[in-house]
Amino acid sequence: MSSDSYTVTGPDGSSVDLPQVQGTMGPPAVDVRKLYANTGGFTFDPGFTSTCSCESGITFIDGEKGQLLYRGYRADELAQKSNYMEVCYLLLNGELPTQSEYEEFNDAIRMHTMLNESLKRFFTGFHYDAHPMAMLSSIVSGLSAFYHDTTNTADPEHRKIFARRMIAKIPTIAAAAYKYSIGQPMVYPKNDLDYSSNFLHMMFAVPAEDYEVDPVAAEALDVLLILHADHEQNASTSTVRLAGSTGCNPYAAISSGIAALWGPAHGGANEAVLKQLSAIGSADNVDKYIAKAKDKNDPFRLMGFGHRVYKNFDPRATVIREHCHKVLKAYGGDTDGMLELAMKLEEIALKDEYFVERKLYPNVDFYSGIIYKAIGIPTNMFTPMFAIGRTVGWVAHYLEMISDPGLRIGRPRQIYTGATERPYSDITGR
């Protein structure tokens, strides 16, 4: 291997030089685009754990250092000093906004918060106990039928309108899905409220009485949205990019990301954490479940610990942990023992040799579910909450991809393991 290329030698002794690609941060990559043309072979990487699918200037993760950067800014620092609307502007535009840019962007988002009245009828087509993620992905896909006149992806102005419209409407859709599931009327957005407060108002207000948003809940929600805003080329973001590479309607591409996020191994993890804490029941049962987690013959898996990317402490978890304590204090403490249980699990995981050796530290999902539960968000809404925060990341990656002049449709290869070619046999002779 030279300083700027890698040499691959085939079984027949032939070799090919593959150039090295180096970003501004992170490890180098091998450009294998010409591998097949020169050798007749492909790379094999199940799960794409060693494959770079694109070049991107949006988010950087260093799993060894526990580092997460949005456009070069530490995500945990943004969560402590900024707000979600500023972070949205940053992810979309590459820089933090000036005061005038922030006001223009914030006003533009507020202009798009309402849904077309015809869209409200879509909700009535769902059974009352449908999962909110089913409604969320369907309604977002349905936006493509209402806004097809401003989705010329070659037009920068259309792309900007799509981005702002999508970020503005996702909380309205999510709150409407919740309201429908409990038989309450949809609450219209109030554009005098900030983004997080507006969502809480749409979730919990009713026409029969006044509702005042709790600033502690709104602040905690804003922090969670920031920390969920983007996470590099994860499963849902990669899905948005893959779908978007076909040239499909951009709302359909975002809908595909919502569907990917639904899985318990991805966005559904915080919902799974809370269900698991409920199953454990009390701190007295922790040792029993820790033993189950260590037993390789036991299918039990401790949710909320470890991360596929982070090999150290999840930088987002520290910030969320602080807000978890703040929210529980404001809401009367740990009334059901959930935090005590979570603290004991964390204490064991940080000291137990089994967890320390495997670096199974608490991740972002560990505390976020407890916060959601404390401020009144039902368990089946946890993944839609993740989707609200992540929408700006999906949109930013979609815009980056669709404006790339070198864009090509995504088309992974495979290792075929089926039957070789064989003749057809008539049904009477089988």
Structural contact between residues 33 and 1, judged by C-beta atoms closer than 8 angstroms? no
Angle at 53 between CA 48 and CA 54, to 5 degrees: 160
CA 33/CA 19 separation, integer angstroms: 10
266 included as an active-site residue:
yes
CA dihedral sign of residues 266, 268, 273, 279 = negative
Backbone torsions φ then ψ of 358, nearest 5 degrees: -90, 0
Pairing of β 59-62 and β 29-30: unpaired
Q: Six-digit token pair at 97?
A: 């906004």
Tokens 């957005």 -> residue: 189
> Of 231, 266, 323, 397, which one is the catalytic site residue?
266
Phi, psi of 119 (to 5 degrees): -65, -30
Alpha helices in 127-264 (DSSP H): 132-142, 156-181, 195-204, 215-227, 235-244, 250-261
Catalytic residue at 228?
Answer: no
Task: Determine the Cα–Cα distance for residues 283 and 265; give it in Å rounded to an integer.
Answer: 25
121's tokens: 């009828």
* φ and ψ at residue 41, rounded to 5 degrees: -120, 160
DSSP H/E element including 36: helix 35-39
**Residue 365: active-site member:** yes
CA distance 242 to 90: 23
Catalytic residue among 201, 228, 231, 307: 307
Distance CA 229, CA 88 (A): 8
Positions annotated as catalytic residues are 266, 307, 365
